Structure 1
Amino acid sequence: MTDFISTPIFGILISLIAFEIGCFIYHKTKLTIFNPLFISIILIISFLLKFNISVDSYNEGAQFISFFLGPATVILAVPLYKKIQLLKENSLPILVGIASGSCIGITSIVSLSYLLNLDKALNISLVPKSVTVPIGIEISKQLGGIPAVTAAAIILTGIIGAVIGPLICKCFRIKDNVAVGIAIGTASHAVGTTKALELGETEGAMSGLSIGIAGLITVFAAPFILKILNIFLK
């Protein structure tokens, strides 16, 4: 058994089983709080703690799943291609909306971290919380953050966005499909986009577009905004 746990097959197998259980629970309940990713994370952590299995042993196989995060994000371009005409007609408000959302997200997390007196490294690690994992981890490394904390923050942000994003849009009576998709994608990246796809093809396409653009904006804007806020928040 110990030999099996140390092989890559173990990490891959437990990840797939946990995610399938999460999908089953979600489809049975239809409750957004039972997001398959959220359920699978809880199951995997519980399993590793219960049987005293190290994270390194699990990562022997899980790292291969992480490798496919990039290609999985790229495939979101398919629904966007189907809505390319809609993108052309609304290009300016879409770009302004994504840019505004990204910059406000960075500013708010830095300001709150300052108010809560968080450690600088932790503060920086939370900056790329609203971009997809491959981009967020690289931003965290370049700024001097903690990649593991960044990955956890990104996943948590995505799950929260998928759960409460549609509810917030309803509360504020945001009915435009493009606006809903941009809001969810900019705030909660790929995990939120899975929920946006459930809402409609337009929402999913716009949310998928937001992932890439928000990532690029964050790469360039995060260092600049951090410098400006550090001057004013000292």
Structure 2
Amino acid sequence: MNFFENSVFFGVTISLIAYGFGHALQGKFKLAILNPLLISVASIIALLAVTHIDYKAYYSGAQYLSYLLTPATVCLAIPLYEQFELLKKNLAAVICGIFSGVFASLCSILAMAVFFGLSHKEYITFLPKSITTAIGIGVSEELGGYVTLTVAVIILTGILGNIIAPFICRHFRITEPIARGIAIGSASHAIGTARAMEMGEIEGAMSSLSIAVSGLITVIGASIFAQFM
């Protein structure tokens, strides 16, 4: 175990192996619940627990994957550029849809906090749940929330969105590609956008746009909603 703990590449290696394992499972069984990210998270937690390897030892190597988060998010602008004419034709509807998505997210957290009797710090920890991690961390720190819990909630939100997005769209008969993309992007950020891209080019482009715009709106909206409790 000491060899693995002291290895610079330990965290990166098991992260990639776990994700590859999850991707292979989903490819074989075609089940939404077998989301590669969900499988990799569960596998790594189980491995660290069984081998008693300290999380800091794992993260010292895995942190290098985090550096790719920002450029990967920026690359989401490419499908948006390819659908730019469609965006211009439906700009008003797109903006209204994104605003509605952010407002619904903030209101749902407020309602949950009141219903479950959360403290102010716990409440603001959940406010950035539907935006990308890079922005959500900053919002949580600024408002005084539990940053590590915010990160976990953001990832869980993205995974759930990735898993249930197709089912929700089918169940509520949401067939318009722009509407589906905006709903997924504003609710489950980059992880959900990965599923939106699988659903179609337009869905992926609109979801990519929603990530950036939702993040900016949430920065302002979370500061306002933080005053409600």
Q: Same fold (TM over 0.5)?
A: yes
Query: What stretches of structure 1 move > 6 A for 4+ residues in a row?
Result: none
**Residue 96 (structure 2) aligns with:** 96
**Residue 150 (structure 2) aligns with:** 150
Q: 1:123 Cα deviation (Å)? A: 1.4
- Confirm whether residue 196 of structure 1 aligns to residue 196 of structure 2: yes
**Residue 114 (structure 2) aligns with:** 114
Deviations along 1:153-189, whole A, 9 cap, x unmatched? 0111111111112211211111100000000111001
Kindly report which structure 2 residues correspond to 1:1-234, keeping only aligned pairs within 5 A, or say none. 1-227=1-227, 229-230=228-229
SS at match of 1:161: helix
1:54, 1:24 → 2: CA distance? 27
Deviations along 1:78-114, whole A, 9 cap, x unmatched? 1111100011011111011101110220121122112
1:141, 1:21 → 2: CA distance? 34
Q: 1:4 Cα deviation (Å)? A: 3.3
Amino acid at match of 1:197: M
> Mind listing any 5+ residue stretches in structure 1 that lack a counterpart?
none
SS at match of 1:53: coil
Identity %: 47
1:92, 1:79 → 2: CA distance? 19
1:225, 1:121 → 2: CA distance? 13
Contact 1:181 1:206 in 2 (8 A): yes
Amino acid at match of 1:65: L
2:42, 2:140 → 1: CA distance? 25
Q: 1:32 Cα deviation (Å)? A: 1.4
Amino acid at match of 1:47: L
> Mind listing any 5+ residue stretches in structure 2 that lack a counterpart?
none
RMSD over equivalenced CA pairs, Å:
1.1
Contact 1:6 1:60 in 2 (8 A): no
Q: 1:3 Cα deviation (Å)? A: 3.6
2:64, 2:106 → 1: CA distance? 30
Amino acid at match of 1:132: T
SS at match of 1:178: helix
SS at match of 2:33: helix
**CA spacing shift, 1:8–1:110, aligned 2, 3 Å:** farther
Contact 1:174 1:180 in 2 (8 A): yes
Contact 1:183 1:207 in 2 (8 A): yes
1:43, 1:183 → 2: CA distance? 30
TM-score, length of structure 2 as denominator length: 0.97
Q: 1:225 Cα deviation (Å)? A: 2.0
1:122, 1:53 → 2: CA distance? 29
